A and B are shown apart, each in its own frame.
Chain A
Amino acid sequence: MTGVVNIPGRQHEVYCVGSDGKIWNTNMPKDPYEAGTQISQVCMTHNGKALFAGTGEANKPGSIIIYKIAEDQGRGTLKMDKINEV
């Protein structure tokens, strides 16, 4: 793992990233999000509605990917959608 961030408003639940190209929610260990690229750092907005991920592929320029975080009403879990990359 190379980056970890607490999810605001959800105690002991974090997003973490490493060299496997996935974004893990510790409450959903069997269902990681496939980022498709190696993420090195993550941070979240205070309202918990967006996740910013910095890419860290060796010998490639970096970028920042923004994910929209929303609660899955039926399951009480969080789902994420990529909305932008800069």
Chain B
Amino acid sequence: MKDGEFEANHTQVNNKDRDITTRYSCHTWMSDGPLILCTEVGEIIVLDDDGSYMSFVPDSPMNDFKIEAIVSFSRGFIVAGNGLIYAYEKSEDPRALYRQITEPINVQMDSKDNNFGSHINFLITSLTLSHSEDYIYFITKSKQLLKVDIPLYDGSEQKSKVDFVHCCYHTSDITGLDVCIRKQLIVTCSRDRTVKIWNYVTKTLEISQTVPEDALAVAFHPSGFHVVVAIQDKITLYNVLSKCIQPFKNIQVKGCTEIKFSNGGHLFAAAYGSNATYVFNFYTNENPPNFQCKGHIQKVRAIDWFDDDMGFVSAGQGGDVFFWELLNVKEGSNRLTDKDFT
């Protein structure tokens, strides 16, 4: 610091004894002074506390392994990148100031055993150690928080176990959400091609199921025994089992973006096409002509059933709100035109 301003001691690493890239990716200070510097091609170098080059770490990951994050601990440091974690400790050997403690931990492979995490990108973007230095907590590019009990002592036979700190959250936009009337459950769907069922009392993830394409809308049957999920080219009806959801019926429609069950669960309304809402009988999947509600200028964005299930209200992207009666069809139209709101 000079005259109240920071002044650079070094603008580059000098006196290197080998060709090391300048594409630095992360660094950390050790408690006893040295600075550890990592590169995008998997090199680790040790600098003195004044920034001058000390040595290269021979056990560096190399092979273009981009080191994304580094953290120091009492005996050394830990680096991480695409699905792998490397731990190093100080050594007495003057040619290698730090040596690798264990084989790299493959968090990707371990986590794939867990059904909830099979679709995650395991590129580690940040990590930290617990106070007792027995757990590493890390964040992946898919925005998931996980932990691993890494063996930081030589000769440890213990296999590392990777686990979510809370649970596996959605990794992309959530496109649909519905609350079950009879059970304390919520269903969500996302563009990450998963449908998840959450218990909002225990605050746990009960079921996570992969669907073939991006999920666009979802609705929970009031009983809690079924969910309806819309993907690009169909609506699929699922039974909710204890550990998974199982499809039992498909309805071939394209681009459905909103689904809503009636309060009794015998009907559900699905908005698809350019301007229409179609009401289906849940048990027979019938869609009679008086259950086809057309009239909006643009796409239907929201649906809400009346308390008595005699009809519903729909709101369109064009700024119009229409009320529909399903049973009392007057003059060939089931729309309550006197109630229109535009």
Co-complex (A, B): yes
Please report A residues at the B interface, Cβ cutoff 8 Å: 1-6, 8, 11-12, 14, 16, 18, 24, 26, 29, 41
Please report B residues at the A interface, Cβ cutoff 8 Å: 301-307, 313-321, 323, 336, 339, 341
- CB contacts (< 8 Å) of B301 on chain A: these are 1-3
CA distance A18 to B138 in the complex (A): 39
Say whether A24 contacts B341, CB under 8 Å. yes
* Of B304, B306, B307, B323, most A-chain CB atoms within 10 Å: B304
Say whether B339 contacts A2, CB under 8 Å. no
Which one of B302, B307, B314, B336 lies within 8 Å of A8 (CB-CB)?
B307
Beyond A1-B320, A1-B321, A3-B301, 4 additional contacts (C-beta under 8 Å) are A6-B305, A12-B323, A16-B315, A18-B315
Q: Which residue of A lies closest to B308 (CB)?
A: A11
SS class, residues of chain B in contact with chain A = strand
Say whether B303 contacts A4, CB under 8 Å. yes
Say whether B304 contacts A1, CB under 8 Å. no
- CB contacts (< 8 Å) of A8 on chain B: these are 307
Which one of B304, B323, B336, B341 lies within 8 Å of A5 (CB-CB)?
B304
| 14 CB < 8 A contacts A-B | A1-B317, A2-B302, A3-B315, A4-B302, A6-B304, A6-B306, A6-B313, A14-B313, A16-B302, A16-B315, A18-B315, A26-B341, A29-B341, A41-B302
* Of B303, B305, B318, B339, most A-chain CB atoms within 10 Å: B339
Say whether A4 contacts B319, CB under 8 Å. no
Q: A24-B341, A26-B341 are in contact. Are A2 and B336 (CB under 8 A)?
A: no
- CB contacts (< 8 Å) of B304 on chain A: these are 4-6, 14
- Could you tell me the distance in whole angstroms from the C-beta of A63 to the nearest C-beta in chain B? 15
- CB contacts (< 8 Å) of B336 on chain A: these are 12
Say whether A16 contacts B307, CB under 8 Å. no
- CB contacts (< 8 Å) of B318 on chain A: these are 1
Q: A12-B336, A29-B341 are in contact. Are A4 and B315 (CB under 8 A)?
A: yes
- CB contacts (< 8 Å) of A16 on chain B: these are 302, 315, 321, 341
Say whether A6 contacts B307, CB under 8 Å. yes
* Of A11, A29, A41, most B-chain CB atoms within 10 Å: A11
- CB contacts (< 8 Å) of B315 on chain A: these are 1-4, 16, 18
CA distance A2 to B320 in the complex (A): 10
* Of A1, A3, A24, A26, most B-chain CB atoms within 10 Å: A1
- CB contacts (< 8 Å) of A24 on chain B: these are 321, 341
CA distance A16 to B296 in the complex (A): 15
- Could you tell me the distance in whole angstroms from the C-beta of A78 to the nearest C-beta in chain B? 15
